[in-house]
Amino acid sequence: MSTSSPAPSTGDDLVISGIGVVTPWADTPVAAAAATGRPAEPGDWFDYRERLGRRGYKYLPTATQYFLAAAKHALADAGETRPGSDPEDEQRRGAVVGTNSAAVALHESMDHTVMAEGANALSPATAPYFSINLFGSRLATEHSFRAFNLTLTSPRVAGLEALETGARSIAAGRASWLLAGATEEALPAGHPGAAASERGAVALVMEPVAKVRERGTAGYGRCRVRSLFLPPEVAATPEGPDRVRERIAAVLAGQGIGPGQEHRVIAVLDDSPVSAAVAVAVGPRADLVTAGAGALEPLLQVAGALAGLSGPVVVVTAAREGNLAVALLTPLDDVV
């Protein structure tokens, strides 16, 4: 019996086969991405008992609950049977989650408890989540994803970097299947950025075309991500937009999208000089979306675009720290 691993996949044969979205205003990708007038104080919109089950989830941080619920939707959407039935398959499945504020409220609560009552008063159920890496670990444990389990925290681009990092791992032969996304929880009142807090999660299943065909399901499209960096002091100069334009063009050219080929652009931006440079670079025809405080909005726009994909779409986002990420979404003309 052969024990050799399957040949590594390439970026060209990876597709998004499942999408899961959990937000206070909508749980379908297109509606979640397009919604306006999103509630700043959504109230009791998420019940873990209805979303996940009555036992085993009560003491999980809400950001973990959100991501588990989004993953549940994404797996079902991809037509996946319950992972874990095949031990060899378990070793080929990876998970990556991006977040900026999943732990902020919990850490602040822990700080208050320690200062007021001492460390012995910390709850043993939530104390382990002082480590940001644990916010995605429950997903890997529950669904037997044993290839790797990563958490990324790069401002604004963490969710897109989750897709990029996962795809690179698949291309390197580290895994053959990926669940990646972003999850965020509201920032505490008075915290910088609290007014732009994000709540919810997006999960995307990425796998080779051959696997999608085997199950007889239809994928949404290909998603290729490239993360970049533009120093804020450079972005603020007249050359800033040109530098952004060059970087985006290089990403598109690398995937065969030339200057004359029609494509839609969605830019998720804040009020920083880096985002201002991106806005000038993408031009007036781009759809501009206001960024939230975390990494969720870019993934919401990717999910919404994939769900209605009919031609190339570019989703670009930026953070005031200088992080940039470009996602190129292309239809699957060859997948049935």
User: pLDDT confidence of 85, banded at 50, 70, 90?
Assistant: low
| pLDDT > 50? residue 288 | yes
Strand order in the sheet with 264-269: 222-229, 323-330, 313-318, 264-269, 287-290
pLDDT in tens, 299-323: 999 999 999 999 999 999 999 999 9
User: Considering only 84-98, 197-211, 281-295, which range has the smallest mean pLDDT?
Assistant: 84-98
Rounded percentage of the chain residues whose pLDDT exceeds 70: 93
- DSSP 8-class letter at 61: -
Using CB atoms within 10 Å of the CB of residue 277, give its burial: 0 to 12 exposed, 13 to 18 middle, 19+ buried: buried
What DSSP assignment string belongs to 168-223? Answer: HHHHTTS-SEEEEEEEE-PPPTTSTTGGG---EEEEEEEEEHHHHHHHT----BEE
Rg (CA), the chain: 20
User: pLDDT confidence of 180, banded at 50, 70, 90?
Assistant: very high
Give the CA-trace dihedral at 214, 28, 52, 162, to 10 degrees: 70
pLDDT at 335: 41
pLDDT in tens, 119-144: 999 988 888 888 888 888 888 888 88
pTM: 0.92
Domains of the chain, with CATH numbers? 11-215 (3.40.47.10), 222-330 (3.40.47.10)
Taking each continuous run of H as one helix and of E as one strand, the counts in the chain are: 12, 10
